[in-house]
Each structure stands twice: as C-alpha cells, then as structure tokens.
A and B are shown apart, each in its own frame.
Chain A
C-alpha cells in the first residue's frame, strides 16, 4: 500500500514537472475558459480564431457571444466576460460613450467602412460635406448632390452600434445624424442594413466593407474608392480598429488567445480571408 502511495506521488510529481515544462515550451497544454462578448461585427473573426486556437490548445474552452459593441467592455467590467470585443477604443471617450477605466485595448484588426447606396442611385462619389448634409437631413433630394430628382432615403444604424460610431467619427467628422423624418429609418444589424440598401430605391447607408455585395454600390468619398489598397496607402480614411478589451493586461489563456489573433499567421491567413486588414499593414 505504502509503496503504491509513494509511487503515485512520485508519478504525480513527475507529471506536474512535465506539464509546467511544456507550458513554458509550447502552448499546447494551456487550460482555462475564455468568455468573449461584445461587437457582433467582430464575431465571425472571433469564432474563426477560436476554432483554430482550440485545435492548438484542446484544453482551452472558448465561449463567444455577441450582442452589441458596448456590451463588450461592460461585460468585462462586470466580470461576466474575459474579453470584450468592441469597434472603438473603449479606454478613451468617444461620441456617446465614456471611457472604461482600468481596461486595456488590444488591437486585433483593421475594419474599413463604406458609404453605400442602392443601385438605382446615379451618384458615384460624394464629398465629406455632402455626406454630412445628407446624414444630418439638410439635403433631402439626390438632385442637390448631383443625382436624379428623387428623395433621399437615409438608413442608419441604431445608436451605440460600433459601425455608427466609426462612421460618425471618420466619415462625417463628428457631425450629428438626423433622428426623424418620413424618409429615415434605423436598422439593427449589418445584415439588415445590407437588405435595406439592396431593396430600397434611392437609399443611402453605410456598412463594413466586408458586407458590400455586387447588388449595391459603394460610394467614393472625396473621390477615393473604398478598397483595401486605399486604406493601406492612407488615402481612404474611413476605417477603424477592432479591439479586444481586457481588465488590465491580459494573462494566461486570454493572453495566448489575443497573441494568436495578433500573430502573423492568423493576420495574414484567416483574417485576410475574412476581408479584414492586418493591423501591421497600417503605418
């Protein structure tokens, strides 16, 4: 009996030593649970990364969900989630939202946005001023911005959407949106925005570049077309970073996961395939 006990203790000790060694050596025996919540626009990226990460680290459990951008840092503050995905830097103040103290913003991706219109709209390019006038309700007819004589239908995302915050800051340079009118509506998600723009004649809205399809038209802003190349060479300004917020500096499995997303392999592989732009591409 005694012999058996001491043997098993020895075995356990050896096992312990080997595990600690392998933690230091490779990440494959990391364990723990990572809970991610927040922006739905970043969810496909998170899910893809989680799938790949779980293959490398089978002992790590990742539970990802999404409700809305601000939910991310809020869940982190409440301790419900380890990572809060958000489309703006939540450790600073942005229009409508105060900063979250004590959280660290980890950049994970570059997200370009585009102003989009229904296919029947004649205009191909708008200036910042024209966009401001349209989205604030000062201009209500396409003929005033060089198009056909038709009412402009403005489609907006709901307040608090990360896309909306970014578009307001980068494309409209902080000017306000209109909030009512008989030719104005708000939609809940990128998918709804896509459907609304595709099916509503004379409609204008904005969306992550990823979702732009051939059945809608992405506008040039100040003569620059929204494209990956133009974002990288610095001429197209309407883009933002996607962030993972953590409480303090990330540790353990969370750190390994964020590092995996930021790694060259993921950034130049899956992240590109998902049509985000690698963070290292921006100078």
Chain B
C-alpha cells in the first residue's frame, strides 16, 4: 500500500556529494528526533500504566466508590464512561460522517460552502469548557433536566461532531478520482458509489477519526463536570438516561482534587491506568478488522 521507498533512495540519487550528505544528515536527524520523542512517550505511558496496572483487582474495577474507607472502586464511573461514549458516538458518527460526505461529495465550491467549512473548523476549535457552559444553558436551564447522562452525552457528541466531519471529508477526498470515475462509469448512482466505493476506500482514515473521537470523549472531563455532574447514582448497570453521569475521567479529577479517602493517590493512579488501558483497547479493537482487511487485499 504505502511507498516502500526506504533504502531505494540511494540507487536513484545522483552522485552529488552535497545532496547525499544532506540526505544522510536528514535521515539521521529524523531518526534521532523521532526516537527521542517515541522514547519519551513510551516512558510516559509506562509511568502511568506501571503505577496502576499491577495493583488492579476485579473488586476495584467493578466495585462501588467509597467516601471514607480505603478500597473504593470505580465500577459505576467506568460503566458511565462506556455508556456515555456509546450514546455520544451514536449521535456524532452518523451526523459527522453525513456532513463530511456532503462537504466532500455534494457541496459545490462556492463562498457559502467555504463558510460552512470555516464553521466546521471553528466548532472544532471551540474550547471544551464552552461546550460545557452551552450544555448547562441547554439542559439544565432550558430543559430543566439537571445534570444527567443524556445531557453529558449530547454535549460530548457536539464536541466531537466537527472532528468527525473534517476527518471524514479529508479521508473521502483522498480517495483517487479514478476509482470514483470507474464506479460512475459502471453505472452506479452517487449513493451507491459513496457507499460501495468511497467509504470503504476511506475507511482507514475514518476509523482513525473514530479512535481520536472516542479517545477524546473517554478522557474528557471539563464538559462532563459541567453537564453530567461529579457523582454517579451509586449503582452498577444504571441505564437510566436521567441519572447523574460521572465518568472515569471525572472520577479521577474528583479523587485528585477533593476526595478525603486515605488511598486517593492509589485510586487516581489505578484509574489513570484503566483509562489508558481502555483507550489502548479501543485502538486494538477498531484496528484489527482493518489490518485483516489490509492483509486480504495484498
């Protein structure tokens, strides 16, 4: 798939010494910087995982939180994280993809569409705290439903919508024109082309987008503190959309900033490790089908 150009550069390069030196230096430079950053990132991840993972127990993952004794768990918060993630993705993926497809495929290139693009990018740059304030105005003050799971999930979906839109648009645009034209030439309608040709070809980019969005939603705290609160209903498996919806990231914040339990530090270490681990799982689960597909195509 990708250009396997590494190493072949030498064979084609002209004998000019300066270029060769430049090229060599450049390669060494990029390798150097990249390995430094990669090492740094790995150290960071290792630091987070190593502090928490070895001490994880099933009781901690599924248990109810405690306010005064040691040994509180994160069960309801973890459940809320997933529950809210699923709801927010169910809103943001279809809407975001549809908007992205529109911008990539249907939209004429005029001033209005240019304006729409700026809107999408503008929305992507709205700070999360402002989505939180907006969520309060919408759900707490206008609909008067208080701090709820549904309020948090919808605010999260708003936060993720522009990223999803933009990533889809970019991914679909990147599909070579020939492929699309071939589909049209076979008599496929526009919808058929999009569904059967463009989206499958762009799926790698779109999945990257979904991973980004899911990760961000999973780790987001500012929006949820404001729209879904910092408490859970205190029960496991509470599917009620109107329950307060503290997520794991919020619980982490709460434990770090206000909790009085003696093992607060250990809880926050473990919670952070669980968060990172879950996001790792997302990436693996979303990507395995892609890898398999890639293999098949070869």
Task: Spell out A's residues near B (CB within 8 Å).
Answer: 35, 40-41, 43-45, 47-48, 50-51, 54, 61, 63-67, 78, 80, 188-192, 210-211, 270, 273-275
Contact = CB atoms under 8 A, between A and B. Distances in A.
Contacts of A78: 141
Contacts of B100: none
A66 B230 contact: yes
B146 A35 contact: yes
Contacts, number: 69
A54 B234 contact: yes
Interface stretch (B53-61, B254-262, B275-283): B254-262
A124 to B, nearest CB: 25
Most buried by A among B141, B225, B233, B254: B254
B105 interface: no
Given A47-B67, A80-B146, A189 B257 contact: yes
Contacts of B259: 44, 191
B267 interface: no
Interface in B264-278: 264
B150 to A, nearest CB: 13
A199 to B, nearest CB: 13
A191 B257 CA distance: 4
Contact of A273 (B68, B234, B256): B68
Given A35-B146, A54-B234, 10 more contacts: A41-B258, A43-B258, A44-B260, A63-B244, A65-B230, A80-B146, A190-B258, A191-B257, A192-B257, A274-B260
A40 B258 contact: yes
Contacts of B147: 63, 65
A270 B68 contact: yes
Interface string B189-233: 000000000000000000000000000000000000110011101
A189 B68 contact: no
Most buried by B among A47, A64, A188: A47
Contact of B231 (A65, A188, A191): A65
7 contacts: A43-B230, A43-B231, A47-B67, A64-B231, A65-B229, A78-B141, A191-B257
B140 interface: yes
Contact of A274 (B68, B146, B226, B231): B68
B234 A51 contact: yes
A78 B261 CA distance: 32
Nearest to B246: A65
A272 to B, nearest CB: 10
A64 B232 CA distance: 8
A273 B260 CA distance: 10
A64 B225 CA distance: 12
